[in-house]
Amino acid sequence: MFDLPHGLARTKDLRESLRLDTQDVVIGHNGEELQGIGRAKLFTLNDLDAVKLFGTTFAPELSGLKNAAPTVESSPIKTTEEFGPFPSQLLFHEDYAEVNRTIVGMLALKWLVAGDYDAFTGQQFPAAKLRRESFDQLRELFMSGLKTEDDVYALLVATVVNDLGKDPDMPEKAARFLQEYPPNPNHDMVVYIAAKHGMLPLINESEGTASHKKLMQGLLFGSEVNIAQLAQAESTPGTLKHVKEIMAGQEHAFTLKFMELILDVAGADGHHDARCAKPMIEPVFQGYMVARQALMNIVQEKCSARGGYDEVLSHRGRLLTTDGFTALSVQDPYERALLRLITMGRTTTKEQASWFNQAFRSLSYRVRRALSDGLNVDGIDDGVAIVPYYMPALFSETLKTTSKSTKDVKVAALASLMRFLARIYAGTKPVPGTKGEVIECSVAFAQNVVKSQDFKNNPTILDDLVIPEASRYVPVVKVD
């Protein structure tokens, strides 16, 4: 039974659906008898009933997500009959991007545990579709990590709580507690602070239990280390310097946090297509598994923060070399900078990598040098390192915007983004022996320009975009 108090009656049905004290045999989609948590009723429900159960259990939290500001990649599109009603339409009779993304992430857990490979991968692009053996590997990670009913419940709570910091009302509610933290905290930090000060009922409910400790440890880890940013080379090695002290001896909490991330990524396209875990394709899966191993190696002192980070870059390089792209070395500053750009661009083919390479080499010497300098600051004993928050999303949107354009248009658009990024780095460069610092700079303000037809027609318009004070904490230096 649950190691949880009965604080919220709304969770009763979900708890009952997770009970394992049944003698019934449950057969999975692969024809094998399900063991452990797979025997829970939740994983035998159809998707519609599961959505309704999640909606009833987490109604207040999902209602909060209705107000969440869309991220760079979460602007909703018109629902089509082909796709059927989206989860938020079933629950609230309207489209809400973040609600859809969260619910699809929870459905992904159901598909994984039930062994439903077809549902999980249904609408993925065939060329990059998650391989069956990778699905089985991912499923094994979940089955071994979710040891009890309590673990499953904690994972679902963590999944729905994850994006509550995007609720525009949340920072205001937590304002009196935010004063002791750095200015303009990201949504992960806002959620951790809110949970720490008892502002989240779902977290409060588990206080005094083993799951509460795991949830708080995961929230703390998420506020300090963004695994997704590591997997996409958006962050810097400096963001990893506290990994060991945060997660040492907390291997199970780390596993739960990683599973939460996988569900977050799996549901990331839920506002466009709620029928499967569309983003969790083979290259994405491999990238996150490499990031996971890099973090584990840092915790176990098998490598430094820089060494773990560079393994993520080297993996991307090996992936592209296999496809015929030129080998790049993390030991060469310019090649390492290009690897970071390619990884931020979620590049998986030789053709895409060649666009980034050509764009990088088309930059003037001063811009290319400034960009390389900024991309090579660790933030550990070498000065100020800047994390360009949402930069991978801008690269992704640019590739979508120019998907039917010529190669020259694609390269010009990417070069414009690189010039923009050089301005974000504001003249920072590695200065060994200098106190390290990591600063986050959101680039989400550029999304409307990047998504516009005007940008597609003339990418240089991004050069004139002013970087607002609210998005940065360091002076912007013009680089030309």
Output the 3-class SS for the chain: CCCCCCCCHHHHHHHHHCCCCCCCCCECCCCCECCHHHHCHHHHCCHHHHHHHHHHHCHHHHHHHCCCCCCCCCCCCCCCCCCCCCHHHHHHCCCCHHHHHHHHHHHHHHHHHCCCHHHHHCCCCHHHCCCHHHHHHHHHHHHHHCCCHHHHHHHHHHHHHCCHHHCCHHHHHCHHHHCCCCCCCCHHHHHHHHHHCCCCHHHHHCCCCHHHHHHHHHHHHHHHCCHHHHHCCCCCHHHHCCHHHHHCCCHHHHHHHHHHHHHHHHCCCCCCCCCCCCCCCHHHHHHHHHHHHHHHHHHCCCCCHHHHHHHHHHHHHHHHHHCCCCCCCCCCHHHHHHHHHHHHCCCCCHHHHHHHHHHHHHCCHHHHHHHHHHHCCCCCCEEEEEEEECHHHHHHHHHHHCCCCCHHHHHHHHHHHHHHHHHHHCCCCCCCCEEEEEEEEECHHHHHHHCCHHHHHCHHHHHHCCCCHHHCCCCCCCCC
For position 4, what pLDDT does the model report? 38
Smallest CA-to-CA distance from 223 within 169, 161, 285 is with 161
Q: What is the pLDDT of residue 65?
A: 87
Q: Do 40 and 149 meet the contact criterion of CB atoms below 8 Å apart?
A: yes
The residue among 168, 140, 160 whose CA lies nearest residue 203 is: 160
63 burial via Cβ count (<10 Å: 0-12, 13-18, 19+): middle
Roughly how many angstroms between the first and final C-alpha of the chain, as a whole number? 64
Low-confidence ranges of the chain (pLDDT < 70): 1-8, 21-36, 69-84, 178-184, 470-480
Strand partners for 441? 388
What's the pLDDT score for residue 149? Answer: 86
96 and 55 Cβ atoms separated by less than 8 Å:
no
Distance CA 445, CA 458 (A): 18
pLDDT at 379: 94
Query: Which pLDDT value is given to residue 190?
Result: 84
Q: Is the CB of residue 16 less than 8 Å from the CB of residue 41?
A: yes
Residue 88 CA, chain-centre distance (Å), reads 21
pLDDT score recorded for residue 230 = 95
